[in-house]
Amino acid sequence: MKIYHEKDIDMGVLEDKTIAVIGYGSQGRAQALNMRDSGLNVIVGVRKDGKSWNIAKNDGMEVTTIEDASKRADIVHVLIPDEVQPKVYEKYIKSGLEDGNTLSFSHGYNIHFKNIIPPKNVNVTMIAPKGPGAMVRRTYKEGFGIPALVAVEVDVTGDALDQALAMGKACGFARAGILRTTFKEETETDLFGEQVVLCGGVTELIKAAFDTLVEAGYQPEIAYFETCHELKLIIDLIYEKGLTGMWKNVSNTAEYGGLTRRERVISQEVRNEMKKILKEIQKGEFAREWALENQVGRPVLKRLREIEKELKIEKVGSKLRKLCGLEK
């Protein structure tokens, strides 16, 4: 795998270019500020007089409408939520694109699933940090950065990769390392990780373990500490030291119990379900389901959010997080 560092990247390719960051949420704000502080010419395109408009103004950014920013920019970097990108693109961005412009993203979702079909005379690139916006900004200000992925879907100018890498360097990503990928690989692996581990799998594992202990008569507060609260300690160890390093930092009892029982929890049946979920992502089934969900007002998501709020683990957890000073 090709990994780019600061010494490999020349930011001169962006010297005379205007970059429009579309959206000023967590990622939009972090990347816009980092690129500006690195000396690039950045403007912000958001809904006029909305909350983000005022935040960007207060940050000293040049702020304008999405339509105006898209017309003025050489590079349009789209950092609004996946589900609203297609409509915003069609209404405000598409008409402003000119020959040799670059349409840039931090997630390949809408390009890969063809929800956005750019004109053939523009570059299509991606620079995707592997961390939330707050961390993108914080690590940059600390003099480092977080790793990122870079991809080029269409290169009409011959320097699309150089542009994307230069944007990544300006954001601080090259201080850690920028890895080459494709829109397909980034999109499918990102969705799979979210659904099977990071958001779906881990929350259901926590819920199931908590419920098992409570149903067996143990105090909910003790169950919460053992199945949820202490998870951060283990994740931090894995993040810093890998799996082997984590095992070295827990007790021999924990190591033996974990290694001998884990495949009973993540059984072959679970692994088979993971493969099914990956197939659903690869075949576009999840993308179509999510598109329909948005078209009808997200009823399933709203219902599931309400169910989640009422879980016993959430009520117990809120009380204990306040006790630990984690929640007001």
Binding positions for substrate = 251
Q: What is the gyration radius of the CA atoms in the chain, in angstroms?
A: 22
> How far is residue 265's CA from residue 241's CA, in Å, rounded to a whole number?
23
Known binding residues? 24-27, 47, 52, 133, 190, 194, 226, 230, 251
Nearest to 106 by CA among 48, 35, 49: 35
Catalytic residue among 5, 77, 107, 229: 107
Nearest to 77 by CA among 25, 37, 39: 25
Asked about 107 being catalytic, the answer comes back as: yes
> How far is residue 224's CA from residue 5's CA, in Å, rounded to a whole number?
42
> How far is residue 73's CA from residue 183's CA, in Å, rounded to a whole number?
23
Structural contact between residues 2 and 179, judged by C-beta atoms closer than 8 angstroms? yes
Percent of the chain as helix, strand, coil, to the nearest 5: 60, 10, 25
Known binding residues for Mg(2+)? 190, 194, 226, 230
Please identify which residue in the block is written with the tokens 């300690």: 233
Nearest to 18 by CA among 62, 67, 58, 52: 62
Q: In what order do the strands lie in the sheet with 41-45?
A: 3-4, 178-180, 148-154, 123-129, 102-105, 75-78, 18-22, 41-45, 62-64
Q: Which residues are catalytic?
A: 107
